[in-house]
Amino acid sequence: MKLKNHIAIITGGARGIGFGCALELAKEGASIVLSDRPGSAELAGAADAIRALGGRCLAVEADAFSREGCEAVMAAALAEFGDVDALVSVPAYNRRASFLDYEGEVFEGILKSALLGSFHMSQLVCRHLVARKKPGKVVFISSVLARVPNSRCVAYSAAKAALNSMMQTMAVELFEHHINVNVIEPGWIDTPGEREHYSDETIAAEARKLPWGRLGTGEDIGKAAAYLCSSDSDYVTGTILPVDGGYRLKHCRDVPAETV
C-alpha cells in the first residue's frame, strides 16, 4: 500500500470526484479526513463506505469555501490523527449562463468555491507541513475547462484557470520544503451532479464523442490523485495532469478514408 500511515484531507469528498479520490487513497492505505458542506446527506454514507474497506475515516461537516470552515477541518484532522500528510482539494460548483447574462454575485460565489476555498485549505496544510519540517502533497482538482473554452461557463473556467496558476506559483515557493503541488484536470466525469443536470440521452451522446467512448468516473480521478499523493510522484511538481479520456482529442479523429 503506497499510502500506508499517511493522513489525507479530502474536501468536497461526500460524492462524485471527491468520493472517488477518498476511496482510491483509502485503498492505498491512507487514513481519510472526509469533509463536505454542513447538512450533506451523503457524507456519513461515504465515510462508512471507506471504513468498510478497512480504512480509518473521520467525517467533518464544514464550509470548505470559508477560512473558518477550513480551520475547522484542519483542527478536526489534528485532533483525530495528530498530523496531515496530503490534501486533495475538490470543492467547487458551476452555474451555466451566457457571459452577457451572468450575475456578478454568482460569479463571485463560483470564484469563492473553486479558488478561495482551495487557497485557505492548502495554506493551512502547507503551514503545518513546514512547521513540522516534513514533506507533503497537495492536489487540486481543476477542470479541462480551464484550458478548453466552452460556452456558458465563464466563471467556472476563469476560476479553474486561476487555480492552475495558483498551483504553479505554490509549487515554485514550496519545492524547497519538499512539498509537491499539482493539479488534475478532469474531463467530463459521470457524477451525481452531472446526472442531476443532464439526461441519460445527453450523457450517452457526449460519451460517444470521446475516444474512450465513455465518461470518466470518480475513481479514474482518484487513481491519479493517489499517485500524486504517493512517493511515486516525488519528482513531479507544478504539473497539470489531464485525466479526460481524450476530451481534447474528440474533434481530432481521423476522417474515414471513404469520405476523403
Which positions are catalytic?
Answer: 156
| Per-residue 3-state assignment (H helix, E strand, C coil) for 127-182 | HHHHHHCCCEEEEEECCHHHCCCCCCEHHHHHHHHHHHHHHHHHHHHHHHHCEEEE
Residue where the block lists cell 475513481 = 219
* Contact by Cβ (8 Å): 221, 189: yes
Rg (alpha carbons) of the chain, rounded to whole number: 18
* Contact by Cβ (8 Å): 215, 227: no
**Alpha-carbon distances of 159 from 69, 79, 91, 108, 188, rounded to whole Å:** 20, 32, 12, 10, 17
In sequence order, the 6+-apart residues with CB closer than 8 A to the CB of 191 are 15, 16, 17, 218
Give the three cell numbers for residue 148.
478548453
In sequence order, the 6+-apart residues with CB closer than 8 A to the CB of 166 are 115, 118, 119, 140
Residue where the block lists cell 470548505 = 64
How far is residue 46's CA from residue 37's CA, in Å, rounded to a whole number? 13
How far is residue 170's CA from residue 127's CA, in Å, rounded to a whole number? 12
